[in-house]
Amino acid sequence: MSKNTICIWYDKDAEAAARFYAETFPDSSVGAITRAPGDYPSGSQGDVLVVEFTVAGIPCIGLNGGPTFKHSEAFSFQIATDDQEETDRYWNAIVGNGGQESECGWCKDRWGISWQITPRTLLEALAAGGGEAKRAFAAMMTMKKIDVATIEAARRGD
């Protein structure tokens, strides 16, 4: 296990979530699965308790802790994409698997985890500052899934 690992609380589906992430994102995998050694408030002995997994190179553990705590946009994964095809692939995988769209490149998976599917051209435009950043930002504010061609046109001032 890494020295620093993100722990994500799930009701009961940490293993299903980890497997979905491993199938969807490169440099992702499912590692050790630990089962509960005894009964606990939200489960029974033998239930999956902790799942070690990696999402796009980031080590995580999923804890099946029950329904007490809910996810919010205060935590999200940001996936930088190279083009519209990659943006569409990740967006459609998350939203099409029981997730939901949000605004400005954000969506949630079916477990309530927030994702920012962000084309690099948008990140570069915002980092450039000035009029380019302002135009790209204004264009982004009208979108759910980011449209790369629209952001690139805004960067140029078209």
Signed CA dihedral, 116, 120, 122, 126: sign only: positive
- Partners of 8 in the beta sheet? 62
33-68 residue pLDDT tens: 999 999 988 899 999 999 999 999 999 999 999 999
- 121 by Cβ neighbours in 10 Å (0-12 / 13-18 / 19+) ranks as buried
The DSSP element (H or E) to which 39 belongs, if any, is: none
- pLDDT tens digits for 5-38? 999 999 999 999 999 999 999 999 999 999 999 9
Residue 42 confidence (pLDDT): 86
Distance CA 135, CA 40 (A): 53
Total residues belonging to the chain: 158
Q: Is the pLDDT of residue 132 over 80?
A: yes
Count other C-beta atoms under 10 Å from residue 41's C-beta: 7
Look over the chain and give the mean of its residue pLDDT values, rounded to a whole number.
Answer: 96
Is residue 119 pLDDT above 80, yes or no? yes
Mean pLDDT to the nearest integer, 119-144: 98
> CA dist 91 to 99, 105, 136, 146, 158, Å?
9, 9, 20, 9, 26
pLDDT of 3 reads: 86
The fraction of the chain above a pLDDT of 90, given in percent, is 95
The predicted structure's pLDDT at residue 106: 98
Token pair of 97 as six digits: 């698997």
**89/81 Cα distance (integer angstroms):** 10
Distance CA 79, CA 27 (A): 12
Q: Please choose, from the candidates 46, 36, 49, the residue with its C-alpha nearest in 3D space to the C-alpha of residue 9.
A: 49
Which residue's structure tokens are 């999923």? 62
* Tens-place pLDDT, residues 58-95: 999 999 999 999 999 999 999 999 999 999 999 999 99
Q: Distance (Å, rounded) from C-alpha 8 to C-alpha 108? A: 14
Higher pLDDT, 50 or 158: 50
